[in-house]
Amino acid sequence: MKKLMILMLLLSACGKKIDGVIDPAFDQYVQDFEMKVGVPVSGVSVTFKPTEYPVLGVCIYGGEIAKVEIDPTQWERMDSHGREQLIYHELGHCVLGRGHDDRKVRLMAFLLRVAL
């Protein structure tokens, strides 16, 4: 009987979407994204993690949780508009499944090097 209860407990967790962790610094941007796009950001973690320049942020997805990781140093250098663009960009990958246009990525990296 005890084994049956353990098995039922384990099976009841299968297939459930796990809520992601959202750093308070990103709360308003994530809420605005959900409102404007009309898609919930559930099962996605949005946190700070250092990246190698010129990468400002990254979306890692696959499995139960998708993760957006934003470089804290670059985040501090951005104004609110740049921050919104970065969060929307990464959530576009993790939530909407959008890919990259490599030509635009190379151009953006070039422009960022010139601006900094």
The answer to whether 68 touches 22, Cβ cutoff 8 Å, is: no
For the segment 29-77, what is each residue's pLDDT rounded down to a tens digit?
A: 999 999 999 999 988 999 999 998 889 999 998 777 799 999 999 999 9
The three-class DSSP label of residue 94 is helix
Residue 99 binned pLDDT confidence (cut-offs 50, 70, 90): confident
For the segment 79-95, what is each residue's pLDDT rounded down to a tens digit?
A: 999 999 999 999 999 99
In the numeric block, which tokens belong to residue 90? 């990464």
Residue 115 binned pLDDT confidence (cut-offs 50, 70, 90): low
Residue-by-residue DSSP string for 34-88: HHHH-----SEEEEE----TT--EEEE--SS-EEEEE-HHHHHHS-HHHHHHHHH
Q: Where are the domains of the chain?
A: 14-115
The answer to whether 91 touches 33, Cβ cutoff 8 Å, is: yes
The three-class DSSP label of residue 98 is coil
- Mean pLDDT lowest among 24-28, 36-40, 102-106: 102-106
Other residues' Cβ atoms within 10 Å of the Cβ of residue 102:
8
Tokens 């404007």, located at residue = 36
CATH 3.40.50 fits 14-115, yes or no: no
